[in-house]
Structure 1
Amino acid sequence: MTEDQTKYEDPQYGWLLAFAAASVFVLWMSYTTSGWQFVVLFVLGFLIGFTLFHTRYGFSSVYTQILEDGNTQMLRGHMQKLIIAVTLFALILSTQTGLFGVRPEGAVSPVSFGVVIGAFLFGFGMNIGSNMGPAAMKTKEGGRTALLFTVTGFLTGATIGGAHYALWNVSLPHMSPISLAEDTPLGYIGAWLLQTGIFAAVILGSYLYKKKRRPPALPPMPRGTGFREVLFHWWPIWVGATVFAVLNAAVLLVQGSPWKLTAAFTLWGSKISDAVGFDPASWRYWGDQAAVTDLTNSIFTSSLSVLNFGVVAGTLVTMALAGLMRFSGITLLNAVMTLAGGLLMGYGAAISFGANVGAYFSGLASMSLHAWVWTLFAVLGVYTAYYAGNKLPYLRQ
């Protein structure tokens, strides 16, 4: 029986009530502390979390599928998402259109040793500890338990990466941030044509590759016409891709910057570090990548935090509706591997200006040169872990 055919349990009303109450509390605190802008950001985050549950938004699995069975369907979904996102971002950034008085800026970062090493570590870690994806939310084989270890590792790695930010991105040779649209003769139209042309070429090439390999199809996708299908089941890939792109563009309009995930984890981990006696304010990360006042101000004055609180809330509420807030035992090896994978992912993401959200999705949509470098080395990390797993089976989950 495929996941799409699984009959989910009844809603878990206890969990649902707890998550709903927590969401109302965050909404209220966001409104009283920072106003309606942050309320809208929480709602957008909630919708992103809801969408995450319903889509095959993996990263490592997209590229390992090509090797394992030649299936490129998810890769084409990624390219569709990026075409829509870069089109919307180009319109917003070129016209400087923003809500709540913001001036939108893309996710444009330097090319540095941090990007190269961090992206590779992230790709490698995601392949061996890939329980931080939508499939792990639904699996009935311990994925949700392993997810806790991955998230713990990610939080720890993102914090340590923040402490080591200067080593990789300041002390070692690095370039200034380069926007293909603003810092090259291409301009917005030229950069948009270049990137959409590359994404379209990948779609065409992957389709021809699929025709040659004739891989087995992915499990049948629901049409999304029934109430329970819309709430609980996978959405068609093109639907998820479109919704993700539109929501990220909406975040850019409201927040003034696109969706980033790792930066929120670095903030939360740094606050914990400060509480237990460390001095994160002395890290170069604070003052360079984020305001040092974020460490002392209320968490509800951080737009990234409120946005990602919404992402977490949207995911958990949907899981409770589907009756999936249940955890099963996992082996010690699985726990160690997912913790290690999360640690590599968090550390790599923190030193490379983001993960498959901030650097890959938002970075490519922002037409940043660093995002292309990040993508190349992250995919290299995925494939290195994949081939290492063939030699050392305990690396494979």
Structure 2
Amino acid sequence: MTQKKAGPSNPKSSAPTLKDPQNMLFISGILAVLIITYFAFQASGFEFMLLFWTGVLIGFALFHAHFGFAAVYRQIVETGNTEMLRAHMLMLGIAATLFAPILMFDINAFSNTTEGALSPITFGVVIGAFLFGFGMEMGSGIAPASFYEEKGGRTAMIFTLFGFLTGAVIGAYHFGFWNEALPSAPEISLAEDTGLGHLGAWGMQSAIFALVIILSYAYKKRKRPPLLPASPTAVGWRKIIFGSWPLWVGALVLAVLNAAVFIIQGEPWKLTAAFTLWGSKLLMNLGIDVTQWEYWIAEERIRALLAPAMMDSVSVLNFGVILGAFLSLTLSGMVRFSKIPPRFALLALAGGLLMGYGATISFGANIGAYFSGIASFSLHAWIWAVMAIMGVYAAYMVAKKLKLVSK
């Protein structure tokens, strides 16, 4: 295949402009933020209130930096573009740099037990990450990038979200088989279980991040893949609130905010656990007893299942992320839905189902297993990343074989 050369010398000049703010939706979002802020404070004082507002800032940053956790894999496989890959390496490097002292000195704001995103190495991690990557290539509406995709992207997101929620609950039902019945290894911290220490583990991971960046630049120089498409933007100071940020800014802000989450709640940002919890709570309200599932045997999980959602820190944080992204969308006039072909809807639904199922049985997804896991020096996170990329590649090759893609 002939590689496309870099696009125009100044791609920002052709960037699409943003639409007018959707004022009524924005006001509704502000009211929702104020209401949840009140209930978060009632539930746990300043801890949950700070956690919720940190989530709002994360959602805001995800949108404005157009920082796709799923898109980075697809871009490498589909177009060969490595720009976002380098931003990911920067984000992971900054996050690991911030996480190391938090773990070393048990830094926390509210006397919580400081625990990194460590998980055991199981068949669930291997199979689940692969399924997640495969589903992500099919229909990645759960990724932040889908919040601003055109041509029905937000309509497809609804199907993907529903599929993700359903898959997460099914994954919880099967969790015991993948992670308890089959052979497994305990969680391994590259810092604490290898003799490297946090400084040594940080140095080793930093070297990997730097190597990936160097190799990606060499690849870019040799292959000259197409640039990322221009993002909707604004000019002047309005760019901060309404426009698109450089990827390196998004990497920096997200790493700092994840560290803030770590300090506030004693564990880094996780996303999938919230969907698994919400879906299981829905089943309980329908009269289905999920408390006997292996996933909910753990004391911390069952406590969250039986308590109101506002008493769960993971839920409170992700309510903030969702509302932060929603407010950003309304300010940019991008809460718009359009009709999509049934095949597109089915692919989005099936992709979401695989993503939710895979994420639950593998202890997380792009956030909890990849972002927070690697920053926490967990070996399982590196295995997860490799298997997820393999899943993306497998799905792309299948789609190409079936002529579902033009590349």
Return the TM-score normalized by structure 1: 0.95
Q: Which residue of 2 aligns with 1:266?
A: 276
| 2:215 corresponds to 1:208 | no
Give, in angstroms, the shift of residue 278 of structure 1.
1.1
Distance 1:125 1:225 in 2: 37
Name the stretch that deviates more: 206-215 or 128-137: 128-137
Distance 1:28 1:265 in 2: 23
* 2:204 counterpart (190, 194, 199): 194
| 2:53 corresponds to 1:43 | yes
* 1:7 counterpart (2, 17, 25): 17
Give, in angstroms, the shift of residue 130 of structure 1.
1.7
* 1:244–1:326 Cα change, 3 Å: same
Distance 2:234 2:334 in 1: 20
Contact 1:221–1:236 (CA under 8 A) maintained in structure 2 = no
1:272-330 Cα offsets, whole Å, 9 max, x none, are 01011111111111133843121221111100000000001101111111111221111
Give, in angstroms, the shift of residue 222 of structure 1.
9.0
SS in structure 1 of the partner of residue 335 of structure 2: coil
Q: Which residue of 2 aligns with 1:313?
A: 323
Contact 2:15–2:232 (CA under 8 A) maintained in structure 1 = no
Q: Which amino acid aligns with 2:200?
A: G
| 2:288 corresponds to 1:278 | yes
Distance 1:19 1:59 in 2: 24
Distance 1:69 1:269 in 2: 35
Distance 1:22 1:60 in 2: 28
Q: Which residue of 2 aligns with 1:327?
A: 337
| 2:69 corresponds to 1:64 | no
1:137-161 Cα offsets, whole Å, 9 max, x none, are 2233110110111111111111111
| 2:154 corresponds to 1:147 | no
Q: Which residue of 2 aligns with 1:235?
A: 245
Size of the aligned set, in residue pairs, is 397
Name the stretch that deviates more: 182-191 or 345-354: 182-191
| Structure 1 unmatched runs, 5+ | none
Distance 1:137 1:289 in 2: 35
Contact 1:4–1:222 (CA under 8 A) maintained in structure 2 = no
Q: Which residue of 1 aligns with 2:6?
A: none
Q: Which amino acid aligns with 1:358?
A: G
Give, in angstroms, the shift of residue 34 of structure 1.
1.5
Q: Which residue of 2 aligns with 1:126?
A: 136
* 2:385 counterpart (375, 379, 395): 375
* 1:68–1:272 Cα change, 3 Å: closer
1:256-283 Cα offsets, whole Å, 9 max, x none, are 0000000000010010010111111111
Give, in angstroms, the shift of residue 241 of structure 1.
0.4
1:42-94 Cα offsets, whole Å, 9 max, x none, are 00000000011122332443233234443211111100000000110011101
* 1:168–1:396 Cα change, 3 Å: farther
Distance 1:309 1:3 in 2: 35
Percent identity over the alignment is 52
Name the stretch that deviates more: 211-220 or 342-351: 211-220
SS in structure 2 of the partner of residue 53 of structure 1: helix
Contact 1:160–1:347 (CA under 8 A) maintained in structure 2 = yes
Distance 1:100 1:247 in 2: 17
Q: Which residue of 2 aligns with 1:53?
A: 63
Q: Which residue of 1 aligns with 2:372?
A: 362
Following TM superposition, the consecutive aligned residue runs of length 4 or more in structure 1 with deviations greater than 6 angstroms are 1-4, 221-225
Distance 1:396 1:152 in 2: 28
Q: Which amino acid aligns with 1:159?
A: V
* 1:22–1:223 Cα change, 3 Å: closer
